[in-house]
Amino acid sequence: MKILFVNGPNLNLLGTRQPEIYGRTTLAAVEETCRKIARDAGLDLVAFQSNHEGALIDFLQQHRDAVGAIMNPGGLAHTSVVLRDAVADSPFPVVEVHISDVAAREEFRRTSYLTEVTAYRVIGKGVAGYEQALRWLIEETKRA
């Protein structure tokens, strides 16, 4: 069984891009932590990052056999109806993660098109939010 670890635009720069907002931990370090947690739970973590909206949609659609997904869509959360539609069509629960507290930032970041179609959200917990999202998904797979 696999859980998807999906990250959108600019998250490849995690650790160096605006560290005062996003911290200094790299995406590779977050992925490794989550991979270990998933492995300990008997799950495979399949990671993917892209700066391209369509590539994220393709990845979700190609992995419809997953049991869940953690997704940090980055700025696409606030702009992408087509990503929302792909998440809504996913046959597994998707957890939306944002490292920063988007509700306390610019007005345009306060609305996410994904809110209504995700099973759970972790907002403003820093990179620890990924681990919280993963642990929630692991518990959900046990209930299924």
User: Is 22 a known active-site residue?
Assistant: yes
Buried b / exposed e along 51-81 (16+ C-beta atoms within 10 A): eebeebbebbeebeebbbbbbbbbebbbbbe
Mode of pairing for the β-strands spanning 2-7 and 44-49: parallel
User: Is 113 a known active-site residue?
Assistant: no
Q: Of the listed 52, 78, 98, 130, which one is catalytic?
A: 98
Q: For the chain, where are the alpha helices, taking DSSP H only?
A: 19-22, 27-40, 53-62, 81-89, 128-143
Q: Of the listed 22, 63, 120, 130, which one is catalytic?
A: 22
Could you identify the residue written with the tokens 């629960």?
93
CA angle 20, 96, 83 (to 5 degrees): 110
The catalytic site residues sit at 22, 98
